[in-house]
Structure 1
């Protein structure tokens, strides 16, 4: 009986992780919030969607995190912040579609590259690349496609509710 409960708890945790979104440690796996990491490269390799979160890890004696508007990002100016983070282990939820801008507010750090632009997209839409060709000649095109859940008319919250209902029903049957 204990093994069944443990298995069901594991399934619940796994399902919640899939539904709620991913946690992205800024700069990982190459680094963290520091002067050595190339954040443009890091962000370009990561897909950010609604429900994900950013985790900034850094030494509070050396750095901070400041969310700014595009003008502040471009000019490395933290004088009009949207919000400042100072804990060294800051969690930033990505709750809406759009572009968010983060810089280190310590003088000289942003200009040295401590800034990241995060483009948050819908979970329902993704861009795919299709290439055709032979040898060194390839022709590629990019397409925006709907996820299979959107095509089927099922939104993410409905999928989450259905999954949780199945798990709760299973728990009641096994216990």
Structure 2
């Protein structure tokens, strides 16, 4: 009887943990991110920073970055870290001259600048850090529940 009771208790812990898990999981699904949020790709005003915006985002391989801007007023160039830091406008991997959506194809650091006039020097540039896959994590409470449930199953068998 104690063995059966232990089994039921263990199953209860696991079911409770799984139910909580649905709420405790945080995931990032591949999606489309408008660079700057609702802010369009342009020379930022004093109260906006692309660096702050990107620091508050989670980027994963497969995400799409949407750069919205007026044709001929701006562009977006994919550049190296050195070109990003020094605003070297002629050293780019690719350049887009109209509103564009760029799919992130690899993990690591990615750098984008505007090559028009002094826009890059005026902080129209963004650096992002991309993780290799979607993020999936569990809360410490859920982990504890799972461990207790598993331990109770082994204890009573």
Give the TM-score, by structure 2 length.
Answer: 0.64
- 1:51 — aligned with what? 62
- 2:97 — aligned with what? 86
- 1:34 — aligned with what? 42
CA contact (8 A) 1:20 1:51 kept: no
Q: Relative to 1, partners in 2 of residues 1:126 and 1:91: Cα closer, same or farther, differing over 3 Å?
A: same
- 1:74 — aligned with what? 85
Higher strand share: 1
The whole-number CA distance in structure 2 between the counterparts of 1:54 and 1:46 is 12
Aligned-pair Cα RMSD in Å: 2.6
Can you list the C-alpha shifts for 1:94-136, whole angstroms capped at 9, x where unaligned? 11111110000012100101000011102255799x9xxxxxx
CA contact (8 A) 1:98 1:121 kept: yes
Q: Who wins on radius of gyration, i.e. which is larger?
A: 2
1:22 aligned to which of 22, 26, 31? 31
CA positional deviation for 1:64: 0.6
Q: Per the alignment, in what secondary structure is the counterpart of residue 78 of structure 2?
A: strand
CA positional deviation for 1:57: 0.3
Give the TM-score, by structure 1 length.
Answer: 0.57
Can you give the 5+ residue segments of structure 1 that lack an aligned partner in the other structure?
1-17, 131-175
Q: Which has the higher contact order (CA 8 A, sep 6+)?
A: 2
Q: Per the alignment, in what secondary structure is the counterpart of residue 53 of structure 2?
A: helix
1:115 aligned to which of 117, 125, 141? 125
